[in-house]
Amino acid sequence: MSSEGVIIVAKTVLHVGPGSSPLPPWIETEQETRFDIDARNEPDIVGDMCAMGEIGQYDVVVACHVLEHVTLPQARKALSEFKRVLAPKGLAIIVVPDLEDVRPTSEILYESELGPVSGLDMFYGMQSAIAEYPHMAHKYGYVSATLHRELTQAGFTGVTTSRDDGWNLVGVGVVE
């Protein structure tokens, strides 16, 4: 999304699984609500994205590098929850590692804030972080077709997926 110069402007944004990361620079909002499973990240709401409870309604749900940390059945529950908490015409923006051209090897593909990232890290999670944060292990992987399928099957409309130049896959869907 950022490579196209698109800026998303929304009154309310639910930022799912942010850790300590800010919203992507291509999202502007009056109110960001941070929702995370780990209380150490000091989110506004501590909880499980597969069962969010009554947390209100949002114009946009952003989940950057979260969906790969749960199994496919759990990801389907999470997408259902994202859809449930979105207002009509709400937008879901999902960013996951793009595994399309990745092999699970120890070859370093790029440098991140957490250090070097290999294909093994993209498939299974950052090995350097999993010991302290076991929920950071990857339990499912995505390519454009699988992310598109899951957003569509969850009931989102106008689904698009795009690959960026930073080993990311971006999926967008709308709630009717």
Per-residue pLDDT tens over the stretch 68-106: 999 999 999 999 999 999 999 999 999 999 999 999 999
Calpha distance 75→155 (Å, rounded):
14
Task: Tell me the whole-structure pTM to 2 decimals.
Answer: 0.93
Confirm if 113 and 125 have CB atoms less than 8 A apart: no
pLDDT at position 4 is 58
CA-to-CA separations, 162 to 45, 80, 96, 167, in angstroms, rounded:
29, 21, 11, 11
H or E element: which one contains 31?
A: strand 27-36
The answer as to whether 86 is a domain residue is yes
- Structural domain count, the chain: 1
CATH number assigned to the domain comprising residue 153? 3.40.50.150
Complete DSSP assignment for 66-80: -GGGS-HHHHHHHHH
Residue-range definition of the domain harbouring residue 71: 2-99+137-174
The answer as to whether 88 is a domain residue is yes
Per-residue pLDDT tens over the stretch 15-42: 999 999 999 999 999 999 999 999 999 9
Per-residue pLDDT tens over the stretch 131-153: 888 989 999 999 999 999 999 99
Q: Which amino acid is at 122?
A: M
The mean per-residue pLDDT over the stretch 96-124 comes to 94
The answer as to whether 36 is a domain residue is yes
